Amino acid sequence: MADYEENQSKFMRKAKENPFVPIGLAGFLGIVGYQLMRMKNRGNVKMSVHLIHMRVAAQGFVVGAMTLGVIYSMYNEFYLGPKQKQKAVTEK
């Protein structure tokens, strides 16, 4: 039971550090679920082509979320970081 609680808190900690990871995971699962529902009505499209489109859409969403996460962390570190350090120095 302790391993479960440790893993859950580790996931929550990582999600707070980088909020775009859960967003990317949710988007990936959403796209895959949507594409699987659309598979019934795919018409004359071959199964392999449908699966390739699903994979590309899901990967594109995850890469986009990762890119936004990197931009967000760079913004926090390089733009907000020095300002917060200046405030701490001036308050002392």
8 Å CB contact between 61 and 24: yes
Distance from C-alpha of 65 to C-alpha of 59, rounded to nearest angstrom: 10
How high is the pLDDT of residue 88? 53
Reported as a single tens digit per residue, the pLDDT across 12-38 is 877 777 788 888 889 999 998 998 888
- What is the rounded average pLDDT for all residues in the chain? 80
- Angle at the Cα of 17 from the Cα atoms of 16 and 20, rounded to 5 degrees: 80
pTM: 0.66
The average pLDDT across 48-64 equals 91
Q: Please, which pLDDT band fits residue 85 given cuts at 50, 70 and 90?
A: low
- In eight-state DSSP terms, residue 88 is H
